[in-house]
Amino acid sequence: MKRYLRQLPAVHELQKDLRFEQLKTVNNVTTARLTMFLKREVESLRAELLIGQQELEGVALDFSTRLFKSTEAHLKQWQKNRLARVINGTGTVLHTNLGRSRLSKAAVAHVAEAAASYSNLEYRLSEGQRGSRHDIMEELLIEATGAEAAMVVNNNAAAVFLILSALAKEREVIVSRGQLVEIGGSFRVSSIMEESGAHLVEVGTTNKTHLADYEKAIREETAIIMKVHTSNFKVIGFTETVATPQLVELTNQNQPLIFYEDLGSGALYDYKKHGIGDEPLVQQVIESGVDLVSFSGDKLLGGPQAGLIAGKKKWIDYLKKHQLARVLRVDKMTLAALEETLKSYLAGPDNINELPTVRDIIRKAEDISLQAQAFISELQSSSTKYISELQESTSQIGGGTMPGVEIPTYIAAVRHSDLSAEQLSHRLRQATPAIVTRIQEQQVCVDFRTIDSSEMVDLLAGFVDCE
């Protein structure tokens, strides 16, 4: 082994090698970075030699070639984007792990413009004076929701935190026990309440809460009655919750109590029309007279990550002035994306297909089937390693919305002649762009609900490369 170790080239020798300059130019890296990568390779090869891991017998000991090769491979890996595009073959439209909503083309263009240019983000052009970023989106939000006033923060968790901190610190907030939800493991109503300094008063039981339970809990210390949308689970059987209008009435009888509804997903489009879920519309919740409502920008709304707060002007104005509103404020790119997203809603139902999230959720199974069939026949003619067939299945909405809702879809169920479903799906995840699939009954399943026609070439290439 010593003999081999002595033949291991030193980094300064490798730097003089022609291939060093070549690698530098081709990969557009600095001398310092390339040297650092080479050093790592030399050290790891030395370690392997020391523990005798390398099969050296009969191998021409061209350590330099070996080192340059592995350095280049690692360099390429390093240069790949860390936040990378993924083809979502799961059919789950609001996949939180895959970034939830895709933005509309108009939203993407507006984001690019806002990012590349100066803008009137906090500047009133008519007066040539400082303005507020909170005012920029308010008009459109008012129009879309029917509220008196509205504002935008970083996400819905931030909206909940802001409302509780600003309006209920050191005071009490009444919530039904059946609505103390946890969303995605990192958002818990009870924990966020504790962080905000508000005191949680639980009423009712897990399955039933009556109006009288709320009534009895109201005291001098009560600041808010809060209703939380049970976004990601369903209680079925012997259940009862109090409807929003009743809670609004109770609040109005106990002024200056505030009624706040955390809607979670916040649909502006009526999915029920298509027989999908029973998500309340933001417009209806506002119409029933709530003081405040908050919801996500990137769930059923189909926009950027944001938390939208709408409701009575008195409270919104107060929230806008709170220190936390500054902490939780959104970037110009978020506002740009949100503006175009809202405009698609305001342009009327004929334009709703501009929004990928809405379009994918209401997409017809027959349309998905055609796309799946096209993929299956192309895969069959491109590779002999695969057997694939069209199967009926269901897609979920995801993002902790519409629990239990399964919408009919079609999938391509694929088997590989030599690889297990796990092995194939692992390889597909390493492709560029990565392809994420579902595994069902030892088959790799691609649900075309979430795949655009523009992604078909990359999808096919990904499979063919995994042969």
Under the rule (CB under 6 A), what is the footprint of ligand PLP? 155-157, 160, 181, 183, 187, 228-229, 231, 262, 264-265, 296, 307, 400
The residue among 87 and 402 lying less far from ligand PLP, judged by its C-beta, is: 402
Amino acid code (one letter) for 204: G
- Rounded to a whole number of angstroms, the minimum distance from the CB of residue 92 to ligand PLP is 15
The residue among 72 and 262 lying less far from ligand PLP, judged by its C-beta, is: 262
- Rounded to a whole number of angstroms, the minimum distance from the CB of residue 366 to ligand PLP is 31
The residue among 276 and 460 lying less far from ligand PLP, judged by its C-beta, is: 276
- Rounded to a whole number of angstroms, the minimum distance from the CB of residue 296 to ligand PLP is 3
- Rounded to a whole number of angstroms, the minimum distance from the CB of residue 341 to ligand PLP is 14
The residue among 302 and 400 lying less far from ligand PLP, judged by its C-beta, is: 400
- Rounded to a whole number of angstroms, the minimum distance from the CB of residue 281 to ligand PLP is 15
- Rounded to a whole number of angstroms, the minimum distance from the CB of residue 187 to ligand PLP is 5
The residue among 35 and 296 lying less far from ligand PLP, judged by its C-beta, is: 296
Beta-carbon contacts of 210 under 8 Å, excluding residues fewer than 6 positions away, are: 204, 240, 242
d(CA 335, CA 341): 10
The residue among 35 and 145 lying less far from ligand PLP, judged by its C-beta, is: 145
The residue among 99 and 131 lying less far from ligand PLP, judged by its C-beta, is: 99
CA 22 to chain centre: 40
- Rounded to a whole number of angstroms, the minimum distance from the CB of residue 239 to ligand PLP is 18
The residue among 168 and 413 lying less far from ligand PLP, judged by its C-beta, is: 168
- Residue pair 417/379 in contact (Cβ under 8 Å)? The answer is no
222-228 vs 258-264, strand pairing mode: parallel
Residue number closest to ligand PLP, CB atom:
264
Asked if the peptide bond before residue 433 counts as cis, ω within 30 degrees of 0, the response is yes
Beta-carbon contacts of 417 under 8 Å, excluding residues fewer than 6 positions away, are: 384, 385, 386, 387
Q: Cα–Cα distances in Å, from 333 out to 35, 318, 380, 399?
A: 38, 25, 43, 22
CA dihedral 419, 421, 425, 427 (to 10 degrees): -10
d(CA 379, CA 386): 7
Q: Give the torsion sign (CA, 137, 138, 142, 143).
A: negative
Q: Which two tokens stand for residue 72?
A: 């280049």
Residue 104 φ/ψ, nearest 5 degrees: -70, 165
- Residue pair 424/416 in contact (Cβ under 8 Å)? The answer is yes
Q: Which two tokens stand for residue 403?
A: 């629990």
- Rounded to a whole number of angstroms, the minimum distance from the CB of residue 264 to ligand PLP is 3
Closest CA to 409 of 136, 38, 93: 93
d(CA 43, CA 62): 16
The residue among 72 and 298 lying less far from ligand PLP, judged by its C-beta, is: 298
- Rounded to a whole number of angstroms, the minimum distance from the CB of residue 444 to ligand PLP is 29
